[in-house]
């Protein structure tokens, strides 16, 4: 009945999932152990979107989360901390600690983008609702 609402809703869900990943990346900026307790810097997560043609009509398409990618090749940030229990014992990075390669600026920019996308789609929903209500005014 209101395909534009479905499209906009799909675009509300996707930025929210993305925002979850960004929050996770920011929260784990200094995490040096993985989920089972082994010393391994946290690997940042990135959400991949894809078009979803099952929602919407007349050529419009929604968006869906295709996958959450774990960036295993992220270059860690090496910090000189000779007293840290997780420090590297030998090699060129001796006495350094490998921290997750997460750039706070990038994450914040992504977060802002996700928030703006959410707002924009809320705006689109409001407009769609307004259009439907204007249609009702023909009757009243």
Partner 1 sequence: MEAGRLPGRRGNLPERRGTPLACEQRNDLKAMYQSIFQSSTIPILEQVVGFAQARHTVLAGNIANLDTPGYRVRDVSVEDFQRRLAEAIRDHHRVRSATSPGELTTLPERPLAQVAENTKTILYHDDSNVGLEHQVTEMVKNQMQHNLALSIMTAQFRLLQAAISEKS
* Per-residue binder mask for partner 1 (CB under 8 A), 40-79, x = binder: ------------x-xx--------xx--------------
Shortest distance, position 1 Cβ to partner 1, whole Å: 5
Length of the chain: 140
Query: In terms of CB distance, is 9 or 23 closer to partner 1?
Result: 9
Residue with tokens 């010393």: 39
Which among 6-14, 25-33, 96-104, 106-114 is the span making contact with partner 1, rule CB under 8 A? 6-14
Applying CB under 8 A, does 1 fall inside the site for partner 1?
A: yes
B/e letters for 24-41, b = 16+ CB within 10 Å, e = fewer, are ebeebbebbeeeeeeebb
| Half-sphere exposure in the Cβ direction for 102 (13 Å, CA) | 26
Nearest to 46 by CA among 11, 64, 79, 71: 71
Q: Does 139 bind partner 1 (CB under 8 A)?
A: yes
Strand, helix or coil at 47? strand
Residues in contact with partner 1 by CB under 8 A are 1-2, 5-6, 8-9, 12-13, 16-17, 52, 54-55, 64-65, 125, 129, 132-133, 136, 139-140
């Amino acid at each position: 009945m209101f395909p534009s609402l479905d499209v906009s809703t799909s675009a509300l869900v996707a930025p929210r999932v993305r925002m979850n990943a960004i929050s996770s990346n920011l929260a784990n900026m200094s995490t040096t152990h993985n989920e089972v307790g082994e010393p391994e810097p946290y690997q940042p997560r990135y959400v991949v979107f894809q078009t979803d043609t099952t929602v919407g009509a007349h050529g419009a398409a929604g968006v869906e989360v295709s996958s959450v990618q774990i960036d295993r090749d992220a270059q860690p940030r090496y910090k000189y901390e000779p007293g840290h229990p997780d420090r590297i014992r030998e090699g060129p990075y001796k006495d350094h600690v490998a921290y997750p390669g997460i750039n706070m600026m990038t994450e914040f920019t992504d977060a802002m983008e996700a928030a703006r996308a959410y707002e924009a789609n809320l705006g689109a929903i409001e407009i769609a609702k307004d259009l439907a209500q204007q249609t009702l005014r023909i009757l009243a």
